[in-house]
Amino acid sequence: MSQQKKSENGGQGATSRAAAATALFHVLEKGESLSAALPHATGKLSDADKRLASAISYGVLRVLPSLNKLVGAKLDKPLKGKLKVLHYLLLVGAYQLYCLRIKDHAAVSATVEAARILGKRNHKGLVNGILRQLLREAPTADESQQRELPVDAMQNHPRWLFDAIQADHPQQASDILLENNAHPPMWLRVNRRFFNRDDYLRQLEDSGIAAEADTLAGDAIRLHSPVPVERLPGFDRGHASVQDRSAQLASDYLNVKASHRVLDCCAAPGGKLLHLLERNDFEQPVQAIDIDAKRLERVDENLERAGLSAIVHCADVAATGDWWDGEQFDRILLDAPCSATGVIRRHPDIKWLRRAEDINELAQLQNQILNSLWPLLKNGGELLYATCSILSQENQTQIESFLKQQSSASLIPIDEKQKTLQLLPGEHNGDGFFYARLKKVE
């Protein structure tokens, strides 16, 4: 397990522990995403406390069953109702004792004080007693203040997902499970309108940031250690953006020319859209569409930061009669709604928010969108189908089904060795991703 740096505020950071417990409560009890729950829980905290609350929240979700087992064994009965938030506070405490480089006394005292902040002053003794009992029975800490955490038999995954990964990737399943629980690397996309990649690598080196170029994604740079974006040279001027290398491959596989009329579907938050615009001076404005107005705000912000423009629609992509002007496209990028099972290491809440029945529903939606978009593509035009999933039902099986439904659709091989591309989490240090190139034959 990748480790966090030692916290400097120790026992004085009770607010960060309370915020982490609150965020976890909203994710696991109310079904909110962690990316939505954390900002609400940490809104007024210092930057240091926000970072610690984030590290704890993400960490707890990565190893949730193991922590639940530890804490549950110390409770006479489950904490329910208004006391449920204390269960998540105990998980926060247990995670610090086992997985973070925080001194034991600091972790316990800060977590106990967090009970008061959460309005549970009368239960500080409960929190203190259970954490100290865990501490007495825990393995001896190593030199970096960490202990060996008992690992769940399914590597801290829900049963349905464990089974699905085993079924689709029997040879790689154990590696996938481990990668899903790891901390992901930080990847950058260099904006070639300003610099080539080698130039930006030199700027990073001059700034004391160690990094290396990817061998396949032409604009991708991997940082050896994550840094705040404020430290990145020219980030505020759009010289570079944060984007995983697997996602950056979309700009290569879409195979666009400046003369093409291009549509980017399910475009928010806009990383692939910006990459296309950074690489090409299109003769016609690229059109982008997404159904989520809130996430489209990110598209507008990213376009403004980069000094680029596109025609952006807020609409249901499958309801083409509501937004399409009737002129067909040369290229369509469909970053389809999916289970996001390829990016669990970046979003560990996916493991606990996604359900087995979601996969059938998502597969049906993907097929509906594909068939709705196909008439919008010119004869000879190409559609790039992409997901951040590793499940065959959303990927290879989905494409095989579509090819049977559409006689005018043919598959363009990704390269000489493979017809489609399924990247698994951690492969080439990137996220799990799937790509298929489809051509409309005349």
- Supply 42's token pair: 């940490």
**DSSP one-letter code for 214:** -
Known binding residue 270? Answer is yes
Rounded Cα gap, residues 332 and 369, in angstroms? 12
Known binding residue 184? Answer is no
Angle between helices 396-405 and 356-373 (to 10 degrees): 40
Distance of CA 369 to the CA centre of its chain: 23
End-to-end CA distance of the chain: 52
Known binding residue 175? Answer is no
Known binding residue 265? Answer is no
List, in sequence order, every residue forming a beta bridge with 240; answer none if it has no partner.
Answer: 190
Known binding residue 220? Answer is no
| 338 assigned to active site | no
Rounded Cα gap, residues 91 and 49, in angstroms? 18
Task: Given the residues 99, 265, 338, 388, select the one marked as catalytic.
Answer: 388
Known binding residue 272? Answer is yes
Rounded Cα gap, residues 24 and 10, in angstroms? 20
Assess contact for 386 and 438: CB atoms under 8 A: no
Known binding residue 99? Answer is no
Distance of CA 68 to the CA centre of its chain: 23
List, in sequence order, every residue forming a beta bridge with 289; answer none if it has no partner.
Answer: 265, 313
- Supply 106's token pair: 């600091």
Assess contact for 251 and 257: CB atoms under 8 A: no
Known binding residue 269? Answer is yes
SS3 239: coil
Please enumerate, by residue number, every residue annotated as part of a binding site for S-adenosyl-L-methionine. Answer: 266-272, 290, 316, 335
Please enumerate, by residue number, every residue annotated as part of a binding site. Answer: 266-272, 290, 316, 335
Residues with catalytic annotation? 388
